[in-house]
Every structure is written in C-alpha cells, then in structure tokens.
Structure 1
Amino acid sequence: MDDEFEEELPRSHEDIEPHELVTGLSSLALLREDMAMSSQSFNLAAVDKFIMVLEMNFLRSRLDDESPRDPGLSVFLVAQTEMWIFAAYELMRSWRERAKLVIKLVDNGGLAFKIDHLQAKPSWDYGRTMVARQLVRVRDEPALVQQLRDDLLRSHIPFHLLEWVRIQLAKHQEPGNAKSFIRSHPMMDRHTGSLNYELTQGPMIADTMSRRELADGLRALSDMQVPTAETIASFEEFRKAKEPTF
C-alpha cells in the first residue's frame, strides 16, 4: 500500500512522558510564573499519564474475547475522563482570562494603577502579590504583551475544542445554545482506547474528539505556530456549522 493511503497511528502511551504536557502548557506566557496554574499543569500531566494506562487496558479488554469484561473499568474510565476534561478546561479558561486582563490593562493605560493597587495589599495576600509580580514583569518586558496576544491565538482552537466537549458533558447543552439538550454517549477510540465524544450542532455531528486528542492538542502548544486569521476564521465557521439546506 502506498504511504499516502496509510493511516497515521497515534503515539503509544508508553512513549508519552508527563513533562510533555507540562511543557506545552508552560509555553503560554505567564502561566509558569503563577504557582496555582503551574501546579495544575503538573496535576493534569500526572492524571493524563494515569488515564492513558486505563484507556489502553480498556481497549485490550474489548479486543480480548476470552477475558471477562470488568464493568467497573469502563465506569471508572468515564469518571476519570470527565474530571480531566473539566480540570483542563478550567486551567485554560483561567489562563486566557488572565492574559486578556493583562492586554486590556496595557491597551487602556491602566497597568500602573493596577500594579499600585495590588502592591498595596497585605503581604499575606499571596494571590494578589503574585499577580502584581506578573504585571510588573509585563511593564518591564513590553515584548510579553505580544507574546500573550500570540499565545491567545495559539491556544484558541485547543481551548474551544475543550470547551465544546466540556459544555456538552457538564451542562448537557451545545456551546452557545442554552435551549438545547443533549446527552453525550462516549465511544472508544480503536487505537488508544480513549473515549470519543461527538461534537454536535443541532442534528449535525460536526466531528468527534477524544480525550487523548484534547490532551495532544495541549501537548502541541510548545511547538505550535501562531495560526493565521484565515485558520481562526475557518475554525469559527466549523464551530458554527449549521445543517445544510437543499
């Protein structure tokens, strides 16, 4: 068979090291300097590695007809998968909100005032002290502002794919449609054992996305180029896809 027709298989879970996810997330400007967000990135990486083993055991249990199936394994995998997706989404949401705040302060001339306000807080208020240090760094290193803008673009697609799956799991709705009601039924990826979820828009299934693919998207952040405006626009059209009319 010609190489162009061969399916590209995902990496073995044994070859993926936890530091790859930490490196991907830490490539986002200012995330590493935030102790809480940095700690969350290590937690996500540790649980990701644990879940990949569960996923492979789940896959093998489905391929081995002679071994009795353990219903507890599938239940536990579903629970761990959902919790990981929720945690990954919250970390990315928190970072993006911080990045947007910094950019807004720079653009409207409020950076110095915000720094003074935060530095006036008592020293035990570590959260505000930490943010103040980040803002001082932005003041002293103006190039960080453009890096934040670029990183918001780099993380746009991975974040909104996470958001798509997360909203369907947590709210049983489609993103941006509070009147919808859906129930996600995960399916097993035939290569990794990871749980696949349908990305729906009304009666349409736009695509499927597995937890492993979501994690791989975050791992890839460290090597990802800034997407073009055309790429972002194309993704937004994909997110808002409507049922075709004939």
Structure 2
Amino acid sequence: MTDDFEPDYDPPYELWDQIDFSIVTSEFRWLPLFKDDLWLGMQAMNVGIADSVITEHEYALLREYFEIEKTPLESAMAVSALSQMWIYGLYEVLRMWRDRRFQFKKLYDNGGIDLKIANLPDDDAQNMSTDIRRKQLELYRSDASYRDSIEKTWELLEPIFRMVELFRINLAKHCAPGKDGAIPRAPGYGRINRWCGAMDYELLDKDGYYQIMNRRDIADALRRTLKEI
C-alpha cells in the first residue's frame, strides 16, 4: 500500500502490509484433523493463500474508488465474486472439519469405531486417504487428549463457522440460516467498505435482524482465533 493510506488515527482494519497472512496459511492446517490429513490440511492452507490475494484486490479496489470518486463497476464485481467464492470455500473446509468431528464422536459414543475401521478398504495401496482416515479413527479411539483437543478446537472454531454460515446461506441460498421463509432483501449486493475495500453485505439472521458483514471481518476473526489455539 502507498503512504496515501497511512491514517493519523487507528483504523478499524489493519493495512494490507500490516497483516500477518501466514497465520491462516501456516497455522490453520496444524489444527487437529487438519494436520493429520494431508488433503484437508491443503484445503485449509488454500484458504490463507486466497485470503492474501483477495485482500490485495480489495485494497486496489478501494484505491481506485477514491481515485475516480465513484464505484468502479468491473473491479467491484470482480472483488465481490472473489469474496463470495472465498466464503463458500471456507465454509466447505469448516463444514468438512465439523462433520468429521461429529462422525468420529458419534462412532466413539456408540462403540462403532472398530466396525468402521474394519469396513475401510485396505487393498488400495494408491489411496492414501483411506490410510489417513484409519489412523485418525484409531487415534480418536485410543487417545483421550486427542478427543479433547478436537472438542476444544471446535469451541473456538464454531463462532467462525456461524459467521461463515450466515454469510453463505444469505448469498448462496437467499434465505436466513434455518429460516427458508426469511428472504434477504438484496442477497449478493455489496457496497465497498471505505476502510478496507472489502464488500459489505446486508445479512439476515434467523431472528429477522440485519447485520453488515464483509469477507475481511471473517478473515480477521479467523486470524484472531488461530492465535488463541
């Protein structure tokens, strides 16, 4: 960023060159269930890589917006599209993590892990994912600290997941979470945030209230959470 974006007061968002993008790129993939699954860990890492790229586009949009003193439509549409795709991608990564936690816990509580392991195919040497899943299940069955670490991690990740879920349901399904009959008034329409260039969206929650949120809010919340874990 240029010196033109150096305010003499504390802005609500860190500037692009002040953000530690490695927090998501490096730390996200080392959470339990991510770190012992190569492919799921790669998806978590991709969230951080894409965040860095999109953030740069957001600030470029903000600079262009100030320079021409009106909304640059093509740039705004591109940032909006990238923002929404990032949200959808993060949602799928978190949903996969949440669902695996739920499945493992259900199997453990019902005494079904041994049967699940026995039913996994063991004759496909080229399918590394099967071996990863087996090892995760065996560790979950035998190691209480591993189970505890997953539960503690979910306690911290769930608020992020709910933010992403609200965003995703409004923009992808045009309703509020858990309320198919609650229809947002302008799903997918965003306005340029004057501090960080991210697209601000009106999101309708299940109680019928609107809140303003942008992709950067979620990325920053994820970074803060990962620092705590």
The answer to whether the superposition gives a TM-score over 0.5 is: yes
2:202 corresponds, among 181, 198, 201, to: 198
Are 1:154 and 2:164 matched, yes or no?
no
Structure 1 stretches of 5 or more lacking a match?
1-5, 226-246
**TM-score of the pair, normalised by structure 1:** 0.80
Aligned twin of 1:59: 62
- Deviation of 1:121 after TM superposition, in Å, equals 5.0
Aligned AA for 2:12? L
Per the normalisation by structure 2, the TM-score is 0.85
More displaced, 121-130 or 140-149? 121-130
Residue 119 of structure 1 deviates from its aligned partner by 5.5
Paired residue for 2:107? 105
Within 2, Cα distance between the matches of 1:17 and 1:123? 39
The CA RMSD over aligned residues, in Å, is 2.3
Superposed displacement of residue 25, structure 1: 2.1
Cα distance per residue 1:136-195 (max 9 Å; x no partner): 222342211111111121111100110000011111111111223333221222211111
Q: 1:130 aligns with which of 132, 137, 146?
A: 132
Counterpart of 2:34 in 1: which secondary structure? Answer: coil
1:223 counterpart = 2:227? yes
Structure 1 match to 2:141? 139
- What CA distance in whole angstroms lies between the structure 2 residues aligned with 1:168 and 1:212? 17
1:38-89 alpha-carbon deviations (Å, 9 max, x no partner): 11122221111111111111111222247x8642211111111111010000
Q: Percent same amino acid among aligned pairs?
A: 26
Q: Distance in 1 between matches of 2:181 and 2:140?
A: 41
Q: How has the CA–CA distance of structure 1 residues 89 and 162 changed in structure 2, closer, same or farther, with 3 Å as cutoff?
A: same
Higher mean C-alpha displacement, 202-211 vs 35-44: 202-211
Change (3 A) 1:213 1:110: same
Partner of 2:52: 49
Consecutive unaligned residues of structure 2, counting only runs of 5 or more, are 1-8
CA distance 1:202–1:97, change in 2 (3 Å):
closer
Take 1:92 and 1:152, find their aligned partners in 2: how far apart are those partners? 10
Report what 1:238 is aligned to.
none
SS at match of 2:120: helix
